[in-house]
Chains A and B, each alone.
Chain A
Amino acid sequence: MRFKLERRLDIPKWAGVVIPLVSVGFSLLIMGIVIYSYMYSKPSYLNRAIFGALNEYRSNIMKIPDESWSRFEKLLKAGRMKSAIAVPKGKLSSNVSSFALSRLEDVFRSTEEAYKFVRDTSESAKSFPKDFESLKNLHNNIGYIVKAYSALNKAINNAKSIMNKECDCDLKEGINSFVENLTKVGILEDLIREAKSVDTADPEKAIKKLEDIRSKFPDEVKKLFTSKMENSIKVISSRCSLPKSSWEGLVLDYKNNLENAMSSGFNPLLFEKASKILNNVSTYYCFAPVVKVWNDSLDPLYMLHKKASIIEGAYSQLSSALRSSQGVLRSLEKGRTFFVKDTLYSVARYTRNSYMKLEKDSFTSSIFASRIESLKSLYNEVNSLYKSLGKPSDIKKNASQISEKVKTIAKKIEEESNAMREDFLKAAEGFARSAIDSFSAIQSKMFPEGSIESRIAEYLDLLMDTYRYKLKEVLSSGIDRMKLNMAYSQLKEVSRDLTMFLRDISDYYPPSNKRMSLSLDYETYVFGMEALRIHSSQDIIYDSYRSKEEIDKALSGKKDITKEEYTKILDKILQGHLDRVYSILTNLKKDLKSLTESFGQVSKVSWIAVGSAYKQLFTWPFIPKEGLPDTINYMTPLLFTGLGLVLVFQMKLWNIGAEGQFYVGVITALWLSLFVFNNHPSAAEIPIVLLIGGLAGAAWAAIAGALKAFLNIDEIVSTLMLNYIAFHWMEYLVYGPWKAPTNFPETKEIPHQLFLPTFGTSRVHIGIIIAISLSAVVYLLMKKTWWGFDLRVIGDNPNAARYAGVNIAKNIVLAMAVSGFFAGLGGATQILGFEHKLYHGYAPGYGYTGIIIAWLARLDPWATILVSFLFGGFLVGGDQIQLVLKLPKAMVVAIEGVILFSLIASEVLFKYKVRVVRK
């Protein structure tokens, strides 16, 4: 049994439409599968990479004990130190270890890549629900809805007045306003239609109908609002693990307000209230509230630090008071009574300053309330003592008494400053504790199962501990502002880290595996760092071996430690190190395994990615304000090269050199604009530049044509070579003589007078007009001239052409030249209209894509326009996919290949019947 192709003679008319559609559809299906499998398989081979590298690492590190450890041990036991040292040096240090290390680094790189991947994929699924946005939009347009409603009421009233012959009002006006307002919002099309169909000539019927509309109106509006709300809630709850209870209340509130607004004849105020609640819902979406609450509870702690200068001031005043009081004591001791009074006055002043500083600020006065009180009484005490002091002679007399009093004061001052520190610490710790508490409260509400969450808390505790430690350091040295600032920045770090943590959860990770990823992020990092650190400490181990010999020498004379004992100790240390490496590795592996499991979730995200890829591909390139200008600009050069090839392919001349001819056009146009017309450039020179650019392309193509015509050199190869020559020539110019005085290899920009005009303010230049009009030229050339006929005859049957007296050689050169002219013109247009300058690596591939376009257009100039437009759209869509979904550029190339294959294959399958032949 075998398959046989039979030519179909009855190719149906619809085949021309169906073939491309079917094959493009097929290609898109393939593309979906490719994107999906890319998204899906990436984690799995990342995992493979991770595990592969890890296993290699393990086996490498295992080699150390197996091969050299035992030998090393044996030698050590035999007391042959020197040889023992030689073993690990040779086998441990260099190859095995460094290779193992590089594998370990591989593991971490792959892991990092894996995280990035999860992030990127889930980002595409992250966007806020669409319905939500349009609901907000409805709220913004609520004015129109209210107006429409009142217009409806007015119309009914008017109709009633008309019926009662009370007035000669215009019924139409109200209806029109109703329709107009609703159309502005773009909703309730059914009601609009009904309103339009109201018969204004018959008020009675009109009233009935209008009242009918009015009765429906609130319900319809409400339906609109609630359905959007319901849909967005669905999305929110599927994407976010925040329990329903946290936002359900808000949603209910919103619905109530909405209801009230509707039933109260569309009260705009109530609408506004609902809209505000809606905004709240969106801010409370997922994790925002957590961050907020956390920040709120941190505020007092921040405040405490912000007031640090005040506290520090108060504290330093107190220190000065202490110093002064000691000065008083010294003066008394030495009998320098003259200074005592003044110094005591300073003590009083410092004490007063101290509490006044604290008192002045409401925040510090509340925290240090008891300090302020006791300092006040202390001040009074000092003050009264000061006042009780008489003349210096009296002081001398009562020296011992005063000194006793001052001593108690000094002691009190010291106690006060200690208490101040205590107060500060207590306040800071209290605030920190309440921050943590408030966080854990949220946490227990948010994450009822509590696994990674407890880890977050641990992490937080760790950070807070550091903070506390720093704080204590501050306090042990008095209240030093610099150190306080350090603690403050530590605190900031705590908060920033946590906020980032939370943002990561809410933004990047898909709901169900975010916790997993989080724990991995942290743990893997810690483990990895540990392992790397131990690895680097291996050097120290080797060093200790090397120095063993020296130690040995030094020990040889001594008797208190034997060689064996020493060796044992060292071995123990080494074994310990290795054990740690193993345990870390085991943990790491376990961890990575759970990473693999979490990747299972990616498949869900992958589908979303496929969906949005299609959407981007189909819609973006054709939206006028978005991708359409780009599509047209991409299409223009493709149309130029495609048209030239349509012509030359007619005669079965396989010019695949449109790429090179395009480059030659680019080079020529650039040369003319930069070096010939650069003095007084004017728009009048544009046609000249374009024409000469085209002619240069024609000349370039004519080389291959002549080689074919006169030397029978295959045009596929010669045009291919000419492509590369043109490309490298262009690169040479960009890197060499034409390089602009910048760091980047590029040329100067051409004078703006030579820019092709654009349509209005858009990016689209008039090159497209030239290209489309050339399609007509090609059509006329091919179908309405003898030359076109000749070309086709040469292509179909060269012998017949020869007998008919057609000069084949001349026509080959001519056809190649014309085709090259188109490509060169395309290049020149691209420079004048789009690029304006040349930069290194400029290889857009328009020539090669032109081949595909000419072929897909089945060598029809009109179809070429359509195909190049679609292809331009495809390229733009491809760029967009790359940009939005971070799919590799290669994806677009691969899809192009698949489309091409399926198009040419499907064409055949339609032309032929597949028949099963039995032998």
Chain B
Amino acid sequence: MKLKRVLCVLMAAVMVAGTAACGGGGDDKSGTAGDNNTTEDDKAGEDSTGEDNAEEPSGDGEDGADDTQTEEPADDGGSADGQVLKVAAVETAYGADMWNEICEAFEASHDGLTVELTIDKKLEDIITQQMKSGEYPDVILRAVGAESGLTETFVKDNNLVEMTDVLAMTVPGESTTVGDKILPGFVENSITNPYGDGKTYLMPMFYGPCGLFYNQGLFTEKGWTVPETWDQMWELGEKAKAEGIALFTYPTAGYFDAFLYALMHEAMGNDKFQEALRYGEGVWDTPEAQQVFDIIEKLASYTEPTTPANANDNDFQKNQQLILDNKALFMPNGNWVIGEMAEAPRAEGFEWGFTALPAVTEGGERASYSFFEQIWMPAGAENQDLGKEFIAYLYSDEAASIFAKSGAIQPIQGMTDKLDGDNKLYYSIYDTGAVAVMDAFATTDPVEGITVRSTFLDPVNSLVTGDKTKDDWVNQIKADSEQLRAALKE
């Protein structure tokens, strides 16, 4: 009797313990699955009681929820016994190989250091759950403007490690400082210094000029010249229309961000542009801002009419295809489009052409937005010193050449001289007089229900279909700007 009772209790206890272990995510295999279902409060405690050891080799992409307990701070001497640096990077068109190579090279320069790399096209899907349970990568490469808004969320939450001291660090193995090596402008803009206090939080990585892409072959064939002013653009629009070609298309409305910034800079000048980025009062009523809206409204009327139907993440390549098929002349894009459309069929004699935006007035400024990715450290990073050292290393000639092999170009002194072929065409755009624009709308505390994309960019689709007028759009911008201004970070 007694024995039986004890047995039963024991068995029940074993089962309860078993389920608790399953749910707890303490072991590395079921860890991530468990994480998906519970909340961070229940999990935080149990995770840290996991029995993982720090030496566990990392998997390819999924690195599970290992607790890598590292106690020693990094020393600059190049030895980091048993330390594990967790690097998370989004996989873009440049591929994953260069990151593997970089991590190996950095490991080689530090004794006993393991760099645990998480690289994935959907990086957020992997790291978000871990971060919710308090496990942050040390270094993250993810640009602002991504759909997930991962970087923006960290910025808005003041959840970043300050990087200003990295600028003063000497590039490992070289004599210059990081700050001196980065091209001017790239660490003095509202993206890298999101709080407007002169402190850098995001470090610029791979960059690429954005502008208008077109088929150079078609222009040569028809004897057209690439317009230098918007007036010439409209003239060309009429000519093209007579031939059954639309003047303009765009992949998705999101691609208007770079376009809008460049156009605003052209039309408004830098001071008003900066004011607009901070949602300045009355700035949208100025004649300069109205000019921007007028140009976009007119451009909408010249846009290939089926564009909005494909302007989503699923079908945007069909819009890009319009350029390849000579059905539209220009589209706003970045140089990644060439790789993206490499396999696509194209009209005979097709040749990529790339230009900055036409000037608003004859002889006026022509601007090209410089898109760049950012690398940063979340405030929850464990190995902050080592992480900073890693970031400094990324600006070394050694690292830059590894990246450049995959076509990823960093804003580093002397880098453009080393380029050849197509790349030279794109990166030399600023040598031919185009102004580089790098800022973005100022960071605010989260404003529920309002995003830059839904306020400023998405309505372009409705302008093209005629479901909204310019005034509807501008009124929405004005109303939302007021709320955003009130939420500006000080």
> Do A and B come together as binding partners?
no
Measuring CB to CB, which residues of chain A are less than 8 angstroms from any residue of chain B? none
Chain B residues with CB under 8 Å of chain A are none
